[in-house]
Structure 1
Amino acid sequence: MAERRDDESRQEDLDWLYRDEESEAEKTRVEPPPAPRTTSRRPGTAGSRAYPPLRTHQSRPAGPGRGARPPAPPAPPGGGSRPHRPRRRPRIGRLIGRLLVLWLVWLLVVPVIAVVRSGTVEATPDGDRPDQQPGTATLLVGSDRRDDLTAEEQRKLGTGTAEGTRTDTMLILYTPPSGSSVLVSLPRDSYVPIPGHGRNKLNAAYSIGGAPLLMQTVEQVTGLRMDGYLEIGFGGFVDMVDAVGGVNVCLDKAMVDRDSHTDLEAGCQDLDGLEALGYVRMRKADAQGDLGRVKRQQEIIGKVAKKVLTPWTLINPVRYWKVNMAAAGAVRRGDNTSVFTMVKAGIGMVKVTGSDGIKMTVPVSDADAYTSAGSSVLWDTTRCKALFNALAEGDTSVAKQYAK
């Protein structure tokens, strides 16, 4: 009996000891414990509670930091696979990259649309042509074509209603393989030989035989082969100026001319498209006549080109679209003018408007000579030959000398 009481007393002590250990373990437990070990009951304790052996220093299980593998997270209720984590949003760098790609596509696609929309005109000259020179030469023509002007705009500009089409502006844009690009203005009243029609003013070639005869005349009188032909009418000029937000000019004195409907005050002022067209067409009130008009044409062309080529045009999609679509409606390219030639002409215009570009008028010996065609402009034969021979060899140094 004494032995039985000793066993019961020992069992109560064990109950008390393991109850405290279990209580302490419950306080520090962070993960569900592993499945309890199966132990045999102590002999002689039938019907009594079985306990694992007492933990000693050697039998203590490894805890965190002692090489034990962390327990697996509990399975989600109801079984099945673990829930997927939400996908992360694209990183800022990736988003910026995609926007840059879209922007580059926009810059490339819009000009293509403009080229497709632009009109064409027959401009391939007849007869023998000069040999191909290094670089690219493009004939730029401003015509008095009125089909893109409303009746109100024709009245305001004083364009008249004369039959046929004439040219107010003729320029050669030459881009060499390397070096400065050159923009050479050819006065419309230049007295030159026109193939099959004797000598006459240069703008008469367009009136007689259109773009092909004008191209042939320019090629024969300069010795340069024209790689391309680009023509802009009155309405196209107005649209281009308005597309870039107008141009700023500064006048030493007021400019008034009834024929071109020009009425501008002295000082600096912004001109819209219609005002800019009158500004470049006016010549009778200019003491320099046709040569003064040539200078104003180069001035406005340079200012429009600079505004077109500013970073703001490329950054602003609305303005970029307007400029390209205005150019598409304004410019007609020759049937012999490839898209590649147009691109090279654009590069040449960028160079001309820069600090290294050369803008000049063909060398003149007499700006008001009396001829069978009336008051005309005579070229300086010696200097013109030196200029165009140098350009035919890809040399622009002579042009730089004559432009001073």
Structure 2
Amino acid sequence: MNAEQDPDADPGILPATAEEAPKRRGWFGRRSGWQKALIMLGALVLVVSSGVAGGGYYLVNRYTDKVDRASLLPSAAPGEAEQSKQNWASGPLNLLLLGSDSRAVEPGEKSPIGERSDTIMLVHIARSRDKATIISIPRDSYVEVPAGGPWKGGKNKINAAFAYGGAALTATTVRKLTGIPLDGAMIANFASIRDLVDAVDGVNVCVPYDVKSTFSTREWKQGCHDMDGDIAEEFMRQRYNVPGGDFGRIKNQQLVVQSVIKKVADKNLLYKPLELDTLLGIAADSLTVDENLDLRDLVFAVRDIRPRNIGYATVPYTSANLKTPAGSAVQLDMAAATEMFAAVKDDTIDQWLIDNPPHE
């Protein structure tokens, strides 16, 4: 019985006993512009971290004590552990940022293993410490997932790693896929976006297409719309009546987060103590941080990064409709992806993105 036949199986995850899926050849193409990034909390973490750094050690201590701690990364090889120490001192940094959502299972769906991650991102902080690149790995990417928990290893959607083995197995999977050692990891709760929208007194989101809600009678016509936290959350959860399905939901999330960042900048909230306190409190409460990641090092590493210096990209893929035993999946363009990952390791990803623009 495969995942599509098992009524108790999550539609995006192979049963632990499933055999490795056969390879299929998808159509060849490039991602469109609206599929460039799944930023969710990524950019906001960097921007708000800059705000903390601007307040010095008092703010760092105040808010780092609020975050949850957990073991999110597997043990690093001795050589990689030493290299990571050097990276924190003077080299480029690569962090794993996962977006967790306790409400990720849609009505009628069942998740037999555990919580899923709708967001898997590499956050690359340049050696110069004045720019960053956030690289999204589509959650449905069909990749080799190493053994972990009840999973015996083999091909599966990448978000299955989180369900079977949590952040540590996800990190192992990302490390195997990219060849990039990780210098830290964080999990951000998707639900905090709703609170952040309310904290900035709502946002104005400009939608490039019509979206009809599957949860209510709301409809967002092409154009700009004022949204409070509840409406923004409902908008971000749409995936059936939006162009591109899950990739459309990616775009909706991106639009809302960018609107929050714009509101923070327009109202100079990073320089208003009371408003900043609220934003930082929400951000801190939403984060689970690897037990070995020193947030003081992180906030000072990103303090000179401004929103305009944050780039976004998605790992190249050739098909979003690959047929697998785990259901429809994303087939990555491994030739282009390998080049991208090499550029991240060499700290030349910004130039690589200039040389390899996505086809609109």
TM-score, normalization: structure 2? 0.71
**Runs of 5+ consecutive residues of structure 2 not aligned to the other structure:** 1-52, 148-152
- Among candidates 209, 219, 222, match of residue 175 of structure 2: 219
The match for 2:219 is 264
For residues 309 and 217 of structure 1, what CA distance do their matches in structure 2 show? Answer: 36
In structure 1, give the amino acid aligned to 2:336: R
Asked if 1:289 corresponds to 2:289, the answer is no
For residues 230 and 301 of structure 2, what CA distance do their matches in structure 1 show? Answer: 26
The match for 2:322 is 369
Report deviation, 1:332: 1.4
Alignment map for 1:97-246 (pairs within 5 Å): 108-126=57-75, 131=80, 132=83, 134-145=91-102, 164-178=114-128, 180-196=131-147, 197-246=153-202
Superposed CA deviations along residues 354-403 of structure 1, whole A, max 9, x for unmatched, are: 0x432111101111111121100011010000010011011121133334
Q: State the identity as a percent.
A: 30
In structure 1, give the amino acid aligned to 2:218: D
For residues 217 and 58 of structure 2, what CA distance do their matches in structure 1 show? Answer: 39
Superposed CA deviations along residues 113-141 of structure 1, whole A, max 9, x for unmatched, are: 11101112220225759945741111221
Higher-RCO chain (CA-CA 8 Å, sequence separation at least 6): 2
For residues 357 and 98 of structure 2, what CA distance do their matches in structure 1 show? Answer: 21
For residues 365 and 261 of structure 1, what CA distance do their matches in structure 2 show? Answer: 34
The match for 1:343 is 299
Superposed CA deviations along residues 207-253 of structure 1, whole A, max 9, x for unmatched, are: 00001111111111011122121212243222222222332211244
Secondary structure in 1 matching 2:240: coil
For residues 123 and 220 of structure 2, what CA distance do their matches in structure 1 show? Answer: 32
For residues 347 and 401 of structure 1, what CA distance do their matches in structure 2 show? Answer: 28
Answer whether contact 1:256 1:264 (CA < 8 A) is retained: yes
Asked if 1:392 corresponds to 2:341, the answer is no
Report deviation, 1:142: 1.2
Superposed CA deviations along residues 343-363 of structure 1, whole A, max 9, x for unmatched, are: 157448x44x30x43211110
The match for 1:19 is none
**Root-mean-square deviation over aligned CA pairs:** 3.0
Secondary structure in 2 matching 1:333: strand
Which one is further off, 199-208 or 159-168?
A: 159-168
Asked if 1:298 corresponds to 2:247, the answer is no
The match for 1:324 is 280
In structure 1, give the amino acid aligned to 2:120: M
For residues 256 and 302 of structure 1, what CA distance do their matches in structure 2 show? Answer: 21
Distance 1:106 1:186, change over 3 A: closer
TM-score, normalization: structure 1? 0.64
Secondary structure in 2 matching 1:286: coil
Q: Across the two proteins, how many residue pairs are aligned to each other?
A: 289
For residues 120 and 228 of structure 2, what CA distance do their matches in structure 1 show? Answer: 22
Report deviation, 1:320: 1.0
Secondary structure in 2 matching 1:375: strand
Report deviation, 1:275: 2.4
Answer whether contact 1:255 1:265 (CA < 8 A) is retained: yes
Answer whether contact 2:98 2:188 (CA < 8 A) is retained: yes
